[in-house]
């Protein structure tokens, strides 16, 4: 898939990849080591470091998701983003996809800071730093797992649940097997993605249920009208009473149709033209529904020209297909709560993250104040 095709299919994914690569190039051009950047350089460029992030720089929870530690780290996350993004973004929508990525990255960084802080308090850990988009990517992967579980399709294709579980499993096992991998960030991002994706899936299921119900109602409602229309076409009546040219015609001979119409002829002069005004029999249709003007030529016979407006005696006003669908298409809609559910869940998660950061921040401030007072 070319860059143009990827941008058309998944614009946010394309922009995220460009930002990852662009930031890495700028780092290298400013003197940062391409494969083994220093701690100072990473902190300068926005890495997640507990003393800074949980003190007065919470923006590192987001900036660290765009920063990568070396070329291999960038390539690994870039490929994962390309693979997951071109599927997840068309499925969830660009804005929801971007929000999902950012919240999953923040959730992963917060869990990393929480675990690190608890280790420091217990005396079993020490402060460190983390960077990379892996938390957000794990959130996207977890969201795709939920989509596969709920059988949400992408362009008519359902995701393979076993393949997604296998890919996610490899990432988690790799994180535990290789030292220096931010497992808390991966797990936190995956949990965040699972929660958000559940809201997506529930809202999607409610929407599909409404669509299926509306479709069934439209079909049931329109079929009788369609069948009646087809039957009426076979019962349409037309007057065409040809007369053999060899048969003499005079004004005393009535011309009768085969369908119960009575034809009256009035002589208008000595010529060969007659003005026939044909009226419907009262047992069939109203007198005003038909006007027939016939002209008779003695040399060519009788040719009856009749203009008829067919009327369905059973259902005079018959709705068309478009009218029926337009009337019924808005009959049933998913409740507003289901349409807003993903955004409500993401808003609640955002509020929860702010509270979580504030809680760790307050604990950190209290410990720092206690240390400062003990040294006085």
* Residues 6+ positions from 191 with CB-CB distance below 8 Å: 107, 111, 142
Question: Across 42-46, 225-229, 364-368, which has the greatest mean pLDDT?
Answer: 42-46
Predicted pLDDT of residue 220: 65
Kindly state whether residue 157 falls inside one of the protein's structural domains.
yes
Predicted pLDDT of residue 319: 52
At 326, is the pLDDT very low, low, confident or very high (cuts 50, 70, 90)?
low
Kindly state whether residue 217 falls inside one of the protein's structural domains.
no
Give the whole-angstrom CA distance, residue 139 versus residue 197: 9
Per-residue exposure over 276-300, b if at least 16 CB sit within 10 Å of its own CB, e if not: bebbbeeeebeeeebebebebeeee
Kindly state whether residue 140 falls inside one of the protein's structural domains.
yes
pLDDT at 264 over 90: no
Kindly state whether residue 62 falls inside one of the protein's structural domains.
yes
Kindly state whether residue 277 falls inside one of the protein's structural domains.
no
Predicted pLDDT of residue 232: 56
CA angle 341, 344, 347 (to 5 degrees): 150
pTM (predicted TM-score): 0.69
- Is 149:64 a contact under the CB 8 Å cutoff? no
Kindly state whether residue 228 falls inside one of the protein's structural domains.
no
Kindly state whether residue 239 falls inside one of the protein's structural domains.
no
* Residues 6+ positions from 22 with CB-CB distance below 8 Å: none
Per-residue exposure over 43-58, b if at least 16 CB sit within 10 Å of its own CB, e if not: bebbbbbbebbbeeeb
Q: Mind listing the pLDDT tens digit for each residue in 147-181?
A: 999 888 766 767 777 878 887 887 777 777 666 78
At 144, which CATH number? 1.20.1540.10
Q: How many CB atoms lie within 10 A of CB 109?
A: 33
Averaged pLDDT, 19-29: 96
pLDDT at 61 over 90: yes
Give the whole-angstrom CA distance, residue 98 versus residue 89: 8
Question: Across 151-160, 192-201, 218-227, which has the greatest mean pLDDT?
Answer: 192-201
Beta pairing, strands 262-267 & 274-279: antiparallel
Query: What are the CA-CA distances from residue 217 to residues 36, 222, 228, 315, 325 (Å)?
Result: 63, 8, 18, 20, 9
pLDDT at 325 over 70: no
Q: Where are the alpha helices (DSSP H) in the chain?
A: 3-9, 11-29, 39-44, 50-53, 60-63, 71-92, 94-122, 134-149, 161-177, 183-234, 321-329, 336-374
Predicted pLDDT of residue 163: 79
At 293, is the pLDDT very low, low, confident or very high (cuts 50, 70, 90)?
very low
- Structurally, the chain folds into a number of domains equal to 1
The tokens of 256 are what? 């009768």
Give the whole-angstrom CA distance, residue 24 versus residue 27: 5
At 303, is the pLDDT very low, low, confident or very high (cuts 50, 70, 90)?
very low
Return the residue matching tokens 């809609």: 333
Averaged pLDDT, 80-93: 92
pLDDT at 230 over 80: no
Predicted pLDDT of residue 52: 94
State the residue range of the domain holding 85.
3-201+339-374
> How many CA atoms within 13 Å lie on the side-chain side of 132?
29
Kindly state whether residue 349 falls inside one of the protein's structural domains.
yes
Which residue would you say has higher pLDDT here, 126 or 85? 85
Beta bridge mates, 292: 278, 306
**% of the chain residues with pLDDT over 90:** 44
């Amino acid at each position: 898939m070319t860059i143009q095709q990827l941008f058309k299919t998944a614009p946010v994914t394309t922009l995220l990849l460009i930002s990852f690569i662009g930031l890495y190039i700028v780092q290298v051009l400013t003197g940062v080591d391409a494969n083994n950047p220093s701690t100072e350089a990473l902190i300068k460029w926005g890495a997640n470091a507990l003393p800074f992030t949980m003190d007065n720089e919470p923006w590192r929870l987001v900036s660290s998701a765009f920063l990568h530690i070396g070329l291999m780290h960038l390539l690994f996350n870039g490929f994962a983003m390309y693979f997951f993004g071109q599927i997840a973004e068309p499925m969830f929508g660009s804005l929801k996809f971007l929000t999902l990525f950012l919240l999953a990255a923040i959730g992963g960084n917060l869990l990393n800071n929480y675990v690190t802080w608890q280790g420091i308090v217990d005396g079993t850990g020490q402060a460190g730093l983390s960077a990379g988009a892996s938390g957000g990517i794990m959130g996207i992967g977890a969201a795709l797992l939920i989509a596969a579980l709920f059988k949400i399709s992408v362009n008519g294709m359902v995701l393979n649940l076993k393949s997604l579980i296998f890919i996610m499993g490899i990432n988690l096992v790799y994180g535990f097997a290789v030292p220096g991998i931010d497992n808390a960030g991966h797990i936190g991002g995956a949990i965040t993605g699972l929660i958000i994706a559940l809201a997506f899936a529930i809202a999607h299921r409610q929407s599909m249920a409404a669509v299926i119900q509306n479709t069934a109602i439209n079909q049931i409602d329109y079929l009788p009208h369609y069948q009646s229309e087809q039957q009426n076409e076979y019962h349409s009546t037309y007057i065409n009473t040809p007369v053999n040219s060899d048969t003499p015609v005079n004004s005393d001979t009535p011309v009768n149709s085969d369908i119960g119409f009575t034809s009256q002829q009035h002589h208008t002069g000595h010529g060969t033209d007659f003005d026939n005004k044909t009226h419907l029999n009262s047992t069939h249709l109203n007198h005003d529904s038909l006007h027939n003007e016939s002209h008779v030529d003695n040399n060519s016979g009788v040719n009856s020209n009749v203009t008829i407006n067919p009327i369905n005696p059973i259902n005079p006003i018959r709705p068309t297909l478009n009218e029926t669908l337009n009337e019924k298409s808005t009959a049933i809609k998913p409740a507003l709560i289901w349409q807003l559910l993903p955004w409500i869940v993401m808003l609640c998660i955002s509020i929860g993250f702010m509270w979580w950061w504030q809680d760790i921040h307050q604990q950190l401030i209290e410990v720092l104040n206690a240390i400062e007072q003990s040294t006085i």
